[in-house]
Amino acid sequence: MTSPDPKPYPLDHLALRGEHGALALVAGEERLTFAQLDAAVGRAASALLAHGLVPGDRVATWMGKTLLACIMPLAAARAGLVHVPINPVLKHGQAAHILVDSGARLLVANRARLDSLAAGEIAGAKFVALEDWRADGEPLPASSHDPEFLAALLYTSGSTGRPKGVMLSHANLWLGAISVAHYLQLSADDRTLCVLPLAFDYGQSQLLATWAAGGAAIGFDYLLPRDVVRAVERQRVTVLAGVPPLWLQIADQKWDGHGRSLRTLTNSGGHLPEPLVRRLRALFPQARLHLMYGLTEAFRSASLDPALVDANPDSVGTAIPFAELRVVRPDGSEAVPGEEGELVHSGPLVAKGYWNDPQRTLQRFRDGEVWSGDTVVMGEDGLLRFRGRDDAMIKVSGNRISPTEIEEAALASGLVGDAAAFGVPDERLGQAILLVAVASGEMDEAGLRAYFRRELPPHMQPQRIEWRERLPVSPNGKLDRTALKAELA
């Protein structure tokens, strides 16, 4: 296959990639051809500007995979705005942080979600209920924005503090879509079932890469894994992306001959255990399975050639188009094959840094490279193998969670005087959250769990809570996480 075109374009031009009358999007009962997609993007862009927004303003969406949620990445880009998607499973506290931190000028969300935000909580932002959204004006034509302009802020958790906004340009997202479409060998007759959250870079890639290939994206929110099975059969799905916990659920389903339409499966957001790789290969022998690795700060990094999966199920492959990877020792020198080191990314897929956070940007982004904090090894065969994270991040069902967020929520309950959160291995989730807590008065685990259910989304709920009279501290008075983790182990 020839190399993909490295020239970036404004992101909204993806609405023009497919045949005029070919199916581009299915969202609920609505179906759009590429011509209709381009018109819908243009009308939504015009409607955004009608709310008084100007180029560079941030516009947030907080909803499931409605038609508007699916087209907003392109509509905001066409209007010269910066899209800030908020995962619909987040509760008002997390959403409020993202809105305040991003300085969003407009939030479009379901009325119930808007009602959960306290009056005056988000200064300077205009709220528009999805139920009241109108986009019936004259559509804006395809834009001519500089591809280096910001197009999105995707919020991801760090090892400390609240989620931070990763700044992505038109070029980052355009070239990412072209790269993924190329190495997955997507085509105009592909139909991608988009089950992952669109606020997740991997989830948004489902849409953008499919459109880059001229294929059809099917926005789909599911309640039960069985719903995915039915949707694959009903929609004649050819491409399905997932994270390890979802693949485990899918492998547990009775497919009874369904799924024969599937020809491309992709995994990222965590390591896929070898037994699960074998099960998926047996369930869908006709499908190419891509084992991938990526991080929001560099979009996507590596993918294993499906022809090598059976012999190398522990590998995430080699660099994808437009990504440059190296493995380095702590002193910055290159690691030799077989030696563990930190994975460092460079090239046009690397993000522009963290929004409004120059200090953390300088720590992570250096000389045009992003240092992943992940330990990998490059084998003699040239294939990358993931070894683990260097920081304290917890990864539950593909969601990166800061321990600090869990600890802050515990303290905010008023029932906890001190707390520390850790990730522990879990067969189904990848990791589960263990909270070690010191009660502020009488121990009330039922009350604390009720508080978490009200304030935190399901993937941030501690699976286990252990109570202590006190937590260990280091000589400088800080929480000694190393000692506590060793005690728990």
Q: What is the pLDDT along the chain (489 residues), one digit of tens a residue?
A: 567 888 999 999 999 999 999 999 999 999 999 999 999 999 999 999 999 999 999 999 999 999 999 999 999 999 999 999 999 988 998 899 999 999 999 999 999 999 999 767 788 899 999 999 999 999 999 999 999 999 999 998 754 567 899 999 999 999 999 999 999 999 999 999 999 999 999 999 999 999 999 999 999 999 999 999 999 999 999 999 998 888 988 998 999 889 999 999 999 987 788 889 999 999 999 999 999 998 899 988 999 999 999 999 999 999 999 999 999 999 989 999 999 899 999 999 999 999 999 999 999 999 999 999 888 999 999 999 987 666 667 889 888 787 878 988 998 899 998 888 999 988 888 899 999 999 999 999 999 999 999 999 999 999 999 999 988 876 555 678 888 888 887
- The pair of three-digit structure tokens given for residue 245, joined into one six-digit string: 């916990």
Question: Do residues 483 and 475 lie in contact, with contact meaning Cβ atoms separated by under 8 Å?
Answer: no
Neighbours of 432 (CB within 10 A): 19
What is d(CA 172, CA 42) in angstroms, rounded to the nearest whole number? 21
Burial class for 222, CB neighbours closer than 10 Å (0-12, 13-18, 19+): middle
What is d(CA 438, CA 227) in angstroms, rounded to the nearest whole number? 41
* Exposed e or buried b per residue across 338-355, where buried means at least 16 C-beta atoms within 10 angstroms of its C-beta: eeebbbbbbbbbbbbbbb
pLDDT for 410 equals 92
Helices 445-455 and 403-412, axial angle in degrees (round to 10) = 120
Domain ranges of the chain: 11-386, 394-488
Q: Among all chains, which residue has been given the structure tokens 């999105």?
A: 152
Give residues with Cβ within 8 angstroms of 257, minimum separation 6. none
Give residues with Cβ within 8 angstroms of 115, minimum separation 6. none
**Cα-to-chain-centroid distance, residue 415:** 32
Burial class for 292, CB neighbours closer than 10 Å (0-12, 13-18, 19+): buried
Strand pairing of 302-303 and 288-293?
A: antiparallel
Nearest to 369 by CA among 343, 400, 398: 343
- The pair of three-digit structure tokens given for residue 334, joined into one six-digit string: 């290159």
Residue 429: phi, psi to the nearest 5? -100, -10
Say whether 167 sits in a helix, a strand or coil. Answer: strand
Nearest to 386 by CA among 437, 349, 342: 342
Say whether 231 sits in a helix, a strand or coil. Answer: helix
Tell me, yes or no, if the pTM score tops 0.75: yes
Q: Among all chains, which residue has been given the structure tokens 């997202």?
A: 173
- The pair of three-digit structure tokens given for residue 255, joined into one six-digit string: 């497919």
Question: Do residues 63 and 69 lie in contact, with contact meaning Cβ atoms separated by under 8 Å?
Answer: yes
What is d(CA 349, CA 341) in angstroms, rounded to the nearest whole number? 21
Query: In 46-95, at which residue ranges do the beta strands (DSSP E only) sit?
Result: 58-62, 82-86
**Amino acid symbol at 173:** L
Question: Do residues 148 and 177 lie in contact, with contact meaning Cβ atoms separated by under 8 Å?
Answer: no
DSSP 380: T
Question: What CATH architecture is 11-386?
Answer: 3-Layer(aba) Sandwich (3.40)
Q: Give CATH superfamily name and number for 394-488.
A: ANL, C-terminal domain (3.30.300.30)
Strand pairing of 318-319 and 302-303?
A: antiparallel
pLDDT for 163 equals 84
Report angle CA 386, 456, 244 to the nearest 5 degrees. 30
